[in-house]
Structure 1
């Protein structure tokens, strides 16, 4: 069965549902582009129709599309090549084309190696209309945001989703119960794409089943809802539950609360809040020192429940929180590693950061399991600073440098092995070399448990008992529940 989200993607802007004001503003931007010449950022939650709107607009205008995904191109050179294509295409007959950069919020700060700065130059100098698409507007650099107009696509109400589901079912000649469609719409809470997918997943014998799995969909709180819950609205226990639902790690939540709490609290409230944030920072320091991630819950208790508990009164209204807080070089390095894991494991960056990276840190702590660390570095294309961050080792040490070199050799050997003979030397010399490289790296880890036994054999210093036990416990969980931990076995 064909994917309904693709089959019923709107082909004209007027068919885009649930964001009439944003849709009209987008159309006006295109109609007046000759006058202002600015790029536009359309942003909002996943599944609200941002990319569909861009393609529908191009179809309405008869503009061909030149499209790039920021996840596939992050360096300045790649962006410059993209800009060159856009510039050269504009000279062919003088016709307009729509330049689309999807996932533009992935172009930020130093880890993109100049990509954000190059994209800022492009949007300022381009002779074609450019649409940047982002989930999180404030993850884009300030320079890039200021160079563009901004249009927000809001979450689509259940009231607007139900008619879409009804129309799709009728066109598919599928029987349905209106109450079932309403439950699907409510369960997806603003995500039209998710609602259509859930409806299609329920099709059985020409009708929509009354029960499905959409209630199990991972619905997470956005960061601004979390801030409102902790700083303005919810009691301590409810604020803690909101923190658990937020798609962020405790250290990210600490950064946000620490940066935004002065916008709401003052006087004694503010002083008491900072006491809890200081305690949270102590617990996070213990996590980094011991790799014992059970301490995360104590940090979250202080960040969410502690800060909410010192609030003297609830606040109403809207608060201008502003953009993302300043992130240190360590935070940026962690984000880069998480994004590499996410791209490989086909999960969100937040999931990689929260659920996969901690396991990798425990498994490769201080590079004790060298072979596993080499595999990780090769699998995710990590450099010395990234390996040092994950393992807790110094990036200038011979141990880390050796791992990076071994990972590069492994990557080169695999490239030759999978080249189909493209790099073959006369009389099979390259094939032999590739085989030797494979012998050096494959087959040394029969199972993760064996790898951890090797790590334990290296031993730890006094006081490492809890750390080693925790790491081994996590390792065992990975081995037993491999299917549920996407990414951990990918580099094995």
Structure 2
């Protein structure tokens, strides 16, 4: 039997079910392409009609198509040869205006170095495309920021069940299938958001039943579909009551820690004033529960964190929320993953603190390092910075990491030298610790000598006061 998803693929944009706004945006993009010449990214959940819309658009415009799949073209030379050559080709036949549509499916599978330059190659292609291009993606934020910024974007939302039913009814009529109305509604409800899966279920049931009934649908069981994180955020911030928001959190494939990060970063985009303050109270409670889980390894307490993140934040909502919000991944993740070198520095400092203070590295990272970073920011509290450097035996790059100052500046170099002097003095005097007696004790010639620049000239007081130390752009602890 022919695959019904292919047999009944829309041949025109007017046949696309749901996503009327996205459909109209795509048509406008094509009709005005000569004016802007931009590539467009069409993104959304699987099965919502993205690829079908691209082919339907080509039919409407009378454009031949070249279809590529990013998973099959994962090297820079192949992307440039196929996508680049197709996009720049001006000598085409079969189209009155000399245009053809280049469609790249699974464009979110291009991941920079992983595909050996494919992501950069396609970014270069879209900047200089001589033909209209459509990039199809399920996960918009898996695409490089540079690529996203060089394209127009159109989001296809999940197809509501009420829009799926007419499509199923049309197929039944064409195939001569008898059905109960409740059966079609049950298929649509089970596949709410995914038209392609609904059509597949209809075909599977029709192959075994002469007449579709609701019971036939129910015995097929529920498909294992998990909610996406963006769908969850919409539910919490805009759509659902606390109980429903909590129920939806169970279908999201994220840990409570990750849910907290997502909600914490995105809630200010929809909430403000008192409702935002209340939401942050609930998030604070969730963080306390997660702390208890880490301390006790009792993961049964995860549910209390999720209660606060989902139901609590939803309960904080004051009034109706409408419109489309562009949510993004937590900034914490982006900063944490920005540099392996910075993570190595973080762990080095945490290890030094843990060994000296007799605490775990986790405690050093989460509780002590943020405090030290705030107290020594840009080395403005010089005595504190020197004492910290001496006690934990830090070198210039680690002082720079904690304070956010440039490691090659005279200020940091002098602090390291002064800390070394302080350690030597402490060892001679058997003081028992670099911090002990350090505050207020470096007032004489030692402090004066250490505050001079390396060329023997006194440091500019204005520069010291302002904290402008000519940072080299190196990330500091406060970035984490």
Q: TM-score range by the shorter chain?
A: 0.5 to 0.7
Distance 1:14 1:138, change over 3 A: same
- Aligned partners of 2:69 and 2:291: how far apart in 1? 36
Secondary structure of the structure 2 residue equivalent to 1:221: coil
Residues 63-84 of structure 1: per-residue CA shift (max 9 Å, x gap): 2222222233344344323334
Counterpart for residue 468 of structure 2: none
Distance 1:280 1:207, change over 3 A: same
* Residue 182 (structure 1) shift: 1.9
How do 1:404-419 residues align onto structure 2 when only pairs under 5 Å count?
none
How do 1:74-85 residues align onto structure 2 when only pairs under 5 Å count?
74-85=74-85
Residues 85-144 of structure 1: per-residue CA shift (max 9 Å, x gap): 325643456832111111223334654444333222211111010001122333333322
Distance 1:320 1:56, change over 3 A: closer
Secondary structure of the structure 1 residue equivalent to 2:179: coil
Q: Could you say what the CA RMSD is over the residues aligned between the two structures, in angstroms?
A: 3.4
Alpha carbons 2:83, 2:102 under 8 Å: kept: no
Moved more, 231-240 or 212-221: 231-240
For normalisation by structure 1, the TM-score amounts to 0.57
Counterpart for residue 244 of structure 1: 250
Matched, 1:323 2:328: yes
* Residue 313 (structure 1) shift: 3.4
Counterpart for residue 117 of structure 1: 120
Query: How many equivalent residue pairs?
Result: 326
Moved more, 268-277 or 47-56: 268-277
Secondary structure of the structure 2 residue equivalent to 1:48: coil
Distance 1:171 1:231, change over 3 A: closer
- Aligned partners of 2:196 and 2:315: how far apart in 1? 41
How do 1:7-406 residues align onto structure 2 when only pairs under 5 Å count?
7-87=7-87, 89-92=89-92, 95-108=98-111, 111-203=114-206, 204-210=208-214, 211-212=216-217, 213=219, 215-230=221-236, 238-263=244-269, 264=271, 266-267=276-277, 270=280, 273-277=283-287, 279-280=289-290, 283=293, 295=299, 298-299=301-302, 301-305=304-308, 308-309=311-312, 313-315=316-318, 316-318=320-322, 320=325, 322-326=327-331, 327-328=333-334
Secondary structure of the structure 2 residue equivalent to 1:245: coil
**Structure 1 unmatched ranges of 5 or more:** 288-293, 334-492
Distance 1:92 1:233, change over 3 A: closer
**Structure 2 unmatched ranges of 5 or more:** 340-480
Alpha carbons 2:289, 2:304 under 8 Å: kept: no
For normalisation by structure 2, the TM-score amounts to 0.59
Distance 1:277 1:172, change over 3 A: same
Larger Rg: 2
Residues 448-490 of structure 1: per-residue CA shift (max 9 Å, x gap): xxxxxxxxxxxxxxxxxxxxxxxxxxxxxxxxxxxxxxxxxxx
